[in-house]
Structure 1
Amino acid sequence: MKKVAALATLLTLTTALAAAPKDTLVYQSSSDIPTMDPGVTYDTASGAVVENIYETLLTYSGSSLTKLEPLLATKWAISNGGKTYTFDLRKGVKFHSGNAFTCADAEYTFERNLVTNSAESGNWFLAESLLGAGANAADDKTITWARIDKAVECNNAGQLVFTLPGVDPAFLAKLAFVGQSVVDSKYAASIGEWNGKEATWKDWIGKDLSNSKLSQAPSGTGAYKLVRKDANTVLATAFDGYWGKKPAIKNVIFQKVSELAARQQAFLRGDADLIDGGGRAVDEEQIKGKSGVNWVDNLPNTTASAFFMNENIKNTALLGSGKLDGKGIPATFFKDANVRRAFSYAFNYEQYIQDVQKGKGKQRTMLLPDLFPGYDGKINTYTFDKAKAEAFFKRAYGGQLWKNGFTLTSNYRAGSVGAQTAMEILKRNVESLNPKFKINIQAKQWSEMLKDSKDGKEAMTILAWAPDYADPDNFMYTFYSSNGYYFPRSAWKDSQVDKWLDQARNTVNTAERNRLYSLVGKKAYEQAPYILIPAPVNYNFARDTLTGVSASNYNPMISFITGTFWKELGKK
């Protein structure tokens, strides 16, 4: 009780921006923590906490995106032609509740994720691997308890066994995703979560776990355990019973501080060790080079961003007249590949790199991070070329587009300077080609834009993708497959591309997968379904009293701002 009282006092002091103690890490974030239940963790803010309270079977080795190492597992074997995975589990591990970690907890975790699976939870890609379908039992009536129970089991030796319906070259990478962290099954049942039994599984199908009892009071095996959480603050402390190396930092405090200026002031005073910045242009001016600041630059970037050109716009409000008469566009405006190519040549990529990324950007050949397997740097890219843009516009719709003109309404994320600037660059260049070309750009709330884009109601917008697991499938299938997550936003379909992507999913031959992804990239260049936005070069910064923040320790698959787990940080 004395420890809890002391921590509560520390929380009060730090909320008032007292200087961060040497044994405490203070991080000021621009957002809150939506959930602490691994089963529904699908955002980086939640992941930054969950990945330190809970643990997965596997994790990434150092800064590598391709090498995995055991965490709660100790080793694994693959058999049955790549369809059976058998894991030995670590002994002597305890949950924060005091319960011992056993195979039953791991089995419960993955069955729970399959039962509660929804598109918003991130368990859809686990379901694809284990059940052969990304839906839950409510949406796919072929999914039964028997199929779920068979997919993951504990054998008589206490080993965890996954049985897949087909090979999945990305399966191990999926197990390193924070949403697959192992849950304390006995504790979960005791506080009113699913009991793991067949008799009750139907009551939990697709259930939203965002504010579950496990989210409110988590119990993991991680190096840190939750002490307290309210609307604006999370306090965690080192777990005395942790099976691994004892963390150097005793307490971690997350504070939600909405105002950038307030975060900057706290950081420069030393009241916060880490903060969410304001983007490269702002941070280089306000933070870089200041006393007490450790600035780490040229870090890898694993996101991909693009203009989506929707070939089936399901929103008449954005179509104007709905015709190629200069006063609007038809719903299938972007279905003509010449239109898409013209727009791709009309975007000034180098200007975007200079204006938005301050020269720290890279134009990629495909919507796949260049450090991922399967990336082909030899594929052609579009460049800003007004003559080529004009030529393709003149070819579009048999010359009618150039003759009559068009009016397009395009939305961007409200508050995103980068998205607004990109839209303005494209608008200016397209409109300069023909006085009959008109692009209206307008800001839209992010939640509304996400919903409308999912429903195919955005004509042209900018969206990005950050990886759930470090495998090219997570990008290539997402963007380019007609069965991919982003298909409703673009409605672009190519049967040959679909075939290549399915083939890549069904082989474990790396060279063959790379060949197939290269073919997809080349076809995408020819068809121009997206305008690829240059990728920024990542950076971070911290107080120089915080150790462990460096390029060598940085792994972009870790959600926390430093690209490291809390247990790997220290203070001097």
Structure 2
Amino acid sequence: MKKLVTLSSLLLVSAALAASPADTLVIQSAADIPTLDPGVTYDTASSSLVDNMYETLITYDGASLTKLIPALATKWTASNGGKTYTFDLRKNVKFHSGATMTCADAEYTFERNLVTNSGASGNWFIAEPLTGTQSNAADDKSVTWAKIDKSVECNNNGQLVFTLAAVDPAFLAKLAYTGMAIVEKAYSAKIGEWDGTEKTWKDWIGKDLTGSELSKKPNGTGPYKLVRYDANNYLFQAFDGYWGKKPNIKNVIRQKVPELAARQQALLRGDADIIEGGGRSVDEAQIKGKPGVTWVDDLPSTTSTAIFMNEKIGGKGNNLLGSGKLDGKGIPANFFSDVNVRRGFSYAFDYQGYIKDVQKGKGIQRTMLMPDIFPGYDPKVKTYTFDPKKATEYFKRAWGGELWKKGFVLTANYRANAVASQTAMEILKRNIESLNPKFRVNIQSKQWSEMLSDSRKGEEAMILIGWAPDYADADNFMYTFYASDGYYSPRANWKDTSVDKWLKQARSTINTAERNRLYSLVGQRAYEQAPYILVPAPVDYLFNSSRVTGAPRTKAGYNPMTSLYWKDLSKK
């Protein structure tokens, strides 16, 4: 108890910690945490914590992007032509509540995900193979309780059985995603979550779990449990009842520290062990080579980032439109629906300048919004270059010539305290405004959780946002960005009939060559229509206090598909 009091005191001190003790890992980040409920975890900030409290049935094997190994399951078999999967579950696994995990908990977890499935969660990609649609029961009447109940059941041997509506070659990879982590049925019902019964399921259809009771009082099987938290600080302790190898580090403190300079100084003083950096150019100048810092470079990147141009800005996002007209004092809600506007913006971004200045020459201008290390990526698809002359030509064509004559005022947002994002927006602003004195781009920072929420409702005009994969398959990127019913569709509101057709064909075949051909078609069409400005991808790197060691912080042990697992770290 005395130790807990001491750590609680440290927690309240926030960024002003003394040098952190060897049994305590201190992590500092600029981002807030939208949720701690696995069922709605769909951002990297939340998953970085959820992944250490909860566990999935299967997980990635070390640094491999393709090999999956048991976690809460011990083995599995596929049958019925790939439409049935049967899992044996690990025995004597304890939740943080002290209860023993059973098959009923696993069944409840997936049924809860299917019932509450909404645009706020990543459950759409597990719903499709299990119920035959990405939608929930409110949006698609074919989704019934009987269909949900049948899709995942416990058999008489205590095994978990999935019955798929259609073959899905990425199904196992999907089960490794954070949002598929197992939660306890009885505990969840007791604190006010869905009770798992047919009687009440309709009350929970599509329910947003972001601020759920389970988010406030998490209860997983993972190696760390949450002890206390406030708006900016989270304190975790190693779970004594953990079934696996006991963590080397007993305590973890995660702090929200918006100021980059404060995070940098905390790392260099030894107050923090791992911090969110400011992008390669800043980190190399301020952190690399400094005493007490370990730097690991040339790591694979599986994130894709884009500047979104919303073709149908709605709701309170209309406050960003100024006059709401093409009169030089604002923009209409459908400003970006003219392909000439989108092409003009695409030619106005300095891609090589961004790679040079922000990424210190270690960046890749990708042809498509997907990792270049994934099957399906086509390096031959055309790309935009920074070309003010071409940008001017397209802007003069836009809106029948009226855009160039009258000008516009646009407000674009980026994540608060994200230096690389801010710089990208500043580059675009500078280049756009240099083309025509009547062009104005106002850029402003916005809290991460607020930007996520507003953009999901189509209420942002232009934002910079990225995508980290849920599962290692091209579909997770291509469908997410380019399909008119993809997860990011409300943020861009771009629709192309041919693209939708090609994407559906690609996800319905296991023929790799055919899938690759279809993705190439999508990439080329996206180049022509320019729904996004493709921000160059980084060559990844990491750094931390030299006191911290472990496979996840090495080149050989690094896996871009997973969060940082604290249990695999040690500290001197």
Under a length normalisation based on structure 1, what TM-score does the superposition of the two structures give?
0.89
Match of 2:150 in 1: 150
Q: Shift of the alpha carbon at 1:368?
A: 0.8
**Residues 320 and 407 of structure 1 are in contact (CA less than 8 Å); yes or no, is this contact kept in structure 2?**
no
Q: Shift of the alpha carbon at 1:175?
A: 1.0
* Structure 2 residue 68 is matched with structure 1 residue 68: yes
Structure 1 stretch displaced more, 54-63 or 129-138: 129-138
Structure 1 stretch displaced more, 537-546 or 411-420: 411-420
Residues 282-293 of structure 1 aligned to structure 2 (within 5 Å): 282-293=282-293
Q: Shift of the alpha carbon at 1:231?
A: 3.8
Partner-residue secondary structure (3-state), 1:198: coil
Partner-residue secondary structure (3-state), 2:199: helix
- Computed over aligned residues only, the root mean square deviation of the Cα atoms, in angstroms, reads 2.8
Q: Shift of the alpha carbon at 1:35?
A: 3.2
Question: Is the alpha carbon distance of 1:285 and 1:78 closer, same or farther for their aligned partners in structure 2, counting shifts above 3 Å?
Answer: same
Match of 1:445 in 2: 446
Residues 145-544 of structure 1 aligned to structure 2 (within 5 Å): 145-314=145-314, 315=318, 318=321, 320=323, 322-323=325-326, 332-393=334-395, 400=401, 404=405, 406-413=407-414, 415-433=417-435, 438-443=439-444, 445-446=446-447, 450=452, 453-544=455-546
Q: Shift of the alpha carbon at 1:493?
A: 1.9
* Structure 2 residue 53 is matched with structure 1 residue 50: no
Question: Is the alpha carbon distance of 1:438 and 1:233 closer, same or farther for their aligned partners in structure 2, counting shifts above 3 Å?
Answer: closer
Partner-residue secondary structure (3-state), 2:162: strand
CA distance in 2, matches of 1:206, 1:335: 30
Structure 1 stretch displaced more, 372-381 or 95-104: 95-104
Question: Is the alpha carbon distance of 1:397 and 1:13 closer, same or farther for their aligned partners in structure 2, counting shifts above 3 Å?
Answer: closer
Match of 1:7 in 2: 4
Question: Is the alpha carbon distance of 1:69 and 1:269 closer, same or farther for their aligned partners in structure 2, counting shifts above 3 Å?
Answer: same
CA distance in 1, matches of 2:29, 2:187: 30
Measured against aligned partners, the alpha-carbon deviations of 1:48-90 in whole angstroms (never above 9, x if no partner) come to 2221121101111212222222211122222333322222222
Partner-residue secondary structure (3-state), 2:195: coil
CA distance in 2, matches of 1:433, 1:96: 59
Question: Is the alpha carbon distance of 1:273 and 1:316 closer, same or farther for their aligned partners in structure 2, counting shifts above 3 Å?
Answer: closer
Q: Shift of the alpha carbon at 1:237?
A: 2.5
CA distance in 1, matches of 2:229, 2:128: 34
Q: Shift of the alpha carbon at 1:430?
A: 4.1
Partner amino acid, structure 1, of 2:443: Q
Partner amino acid, structure 1, of 2:561: M
* Structure 2 residue 552 is matched with structure 1 residue 552: no
**Residues 75 and 87 of structure 2 are in contact (CA less than 8 Å); yes or no, is this contact kept in structure 1?**
yes
Q: Shift of the alpha carbon at 1:180?
A: 0.9
> Identity of paired residues, percent?
67
CA distance in 2, matches of 1:472, 1:537: 19
Q: Shift of the alpha carbon at 1:403?
A: 6.8
Question: Is the alpha carbon distance of 1:219 and 1:425 closer, same or farther for their aligned partners in structure 2, counting shifts above 3 Å?
Answer: closer
Note the residue ranges of structure 2 that are not aligned, 5 or more in a row: none
Q: Shift of the alpha carbon at 1:345?
A: 2.4
**Residues 319 and 408 of structure 1 are in contact (CA less than 8 Å); yes or no, is this contact kept in structure 2?**
yes
Partner amino acid, structure 1, of 2:125: F
**Residues 152 and 160 of structure 2 are in contact (CA less than 8 Å); yes or no, is this contact kept in structure 1?**
yes
**Residues 169 and 506 of structure 1 are in contact (CA less than 8 Å); yes or no, is this contact kept in structure 2?**
no
CA distance in 2, matches of 1:544, 1:415: 25
Partner amino acid, structure 1, of 2:52: N
Q: Shift of the alpha carbon at 1:166?
A: 1.8
**Residues 432 and 441 of structure 2 are in contact (CA less than 8 Å); yes or no, is this contact kept in structure 1?**
no
Partner amino acid, structure 2, of 1:105: D
CA distance in 2, matches of 1:124, 1:49: 22
CA distance in 1, matches of 2:557, 2:280: 21
CA distance in 2, matches of 1:101, 1:482: 39
**Residues 55 and 71 of structure 2 are in contact (CA less than 8 Å); yes or no, is this contact kept in structure 1?**
yes
CA distance in 1, matches of 2:394, 2:548: 54
Partner amino acid, structure 2, of 1:531: I
Question: Is the alpha carbon distance of 1:220 and 1:416 closer, same or farther for their aligned partners in structure 2, counting shifts above 3 Å?
Answer: closer
**Residues 57 and 182 of structure 1 are in contact (CA less than 8 Å); yes or no, is this contact kept in structure 2?**
yes
Partner amino acid, structure 1, of 2:468: A
Match of 1:105 in 2: 105
**Residues 173 and 472 of structure 2 are in contact (CA less than 8 Å); yes or no, is this contact kept in structure 1?**
yes
Under a length normalisation based on structure 2, what TM-score does the superposition of the two structures give?
0.89
Partner-residue secondary structure (3-state), 2:59: strand
Q: Shift of the alpha carbon at 1:392?
A: 4.0
CA distance in 2, matches of 1:394, 1:553: 51
**Residues 28 and 274 of structure 2 are in contact (CA less than 8 Å); yes or no, is this contact kept in structure 1?**
yes
Partner-residue secondary structure (3-state), 2:288: coil
**Residues 192 and 213 of structure 1 are in contact (CA less than 8 Å); yes or no, is this contact kept in structure 2?**
yes
